[in-house]
Amino acid sequence: MRLLVVEDEERIASFLCKGIAAAGYEVEWASTGSEALAAVDKDRPELVILDLGLPDMDGYEVLERLGASQPSCPAIVLTARGDVPDRLRGLDLGADDYLSKPFSFSELLARIRAVLRRVGERSVIERSGVRLDVRAQTVSVGGRTRPLSPREARLLEVFLRRPGEVLSRRDLLSTVWRLDFDPHSNLVDVYVKGLRRKLSEGSIETVRGAGYRFVGFR
């Protein structure tokens, strides 16, 4: 299983590559965004570990172009930009996980295993008249297919894997956005509203004071 490390600082890249190789993975290194995109097109790695501070282009641009050219390739972002807006931007551009520097290498390995495990799961999920293609990020309802944003696809995946279960805003923020709960945030509500427009208004119920529950296409 091949992983691609995208990091311009040679010392950090060497540390990452040696540790990842010691964990049993094949690993390749790219020091620029253009090298990374070329390596993804040529070698099709199973996972990209991406630093945002690259010399030739912003890591967000790499992430966006990666999602456009190879949407099935997952990415973990490693960066010193740990603020919530930066994390949200990375996740919305398609990052599967986000780890702020400095970080524990054992945690990085755990995140790698978790992302690869998720990618290895069945990529098409069908529940109650809703068909989600996780990697293509599309949803089919009533014979019509619509595109989803990366976070919409992840949010719907959580609902479909836990049908009928009431999921709190805290649970959804933690699972989908990897964020601590903020009682003043309406992030979950905004995305649920967007999903309802693409499914049907009654597909995701609001459970007052508790959260949301997926009930299917109506």
Question: What is the span of the domain harbouring residue 6?
Answer: 2-120
Residue-by-residue pLDDT tens, the chain, 218 positions: 789 999 999 999 999 999 999 999 989 999 999 999 999 988 888 899 999 989 999 889 999 888 877 777 889 998 887 677 888 888 888 888 988 888 899 999 999 999 888 777 657 888 888 999 887 789 999 889 999 988 898 899 899 988 889 999 999 988 888 777 676 678 999 999 999 999 987 899 999 989 999 998 76
Domain boundary among 101, 120, 139: 120
Number of domains in the chain: 2
pLDDT the model gives residue 85: 83
**CB 63, CB 38: distance < 8 Å:** no
Tell me what pLDDT residue 90 has.
86
109 and 190 in a single domain? The answer is no
**Which of helix, strand or coil describes residue 153?**
helix
Phi–psi pair at 16, nearest 5 degrees: -65, -45
Residues 66 and 111 in one domain: yes
pLDDT at 137: 84
From 80, 103, 120, the end of a domain falls on: 120
Shared domain for 16 and 115, answered yes or no, is yes
CATH number for position 95: 3.40.50.2300
Question: Are 8 and 88 in the same domain?
Answer: yes
Do 99 and 129 share a structural domain?
no
Same domain (yes/no): 190, 131: yes
For the stretch 62-87, pLDDT in tens is: 998 888 777 778 899 988 876 778 88
- Report cis status (omega within 30 of 0) of the bond before 150: no
pLDDT (tens digit, 9 = 90+) per residue, 34-66? Answer: 999 999 988 888 899 999 989 999 889 999 888
- The bridge status of strand 2-6 relative to strand 47-51 is parallel
Asked whether residue 44 falls in the same domain as residue 114, the answer is: yes
* Domain termination residue (choose one: 120, 138, 160): 120
Q: Are residues 166 and 116 in the same domain?
A: no
Q: 142 and 114: one domain?
A: no
Rounded CA-CA distance 149/112 in Å is 22
- pLDDT for 181: 67
Instruction: State residue 174's pLDDT score.
Output: 84
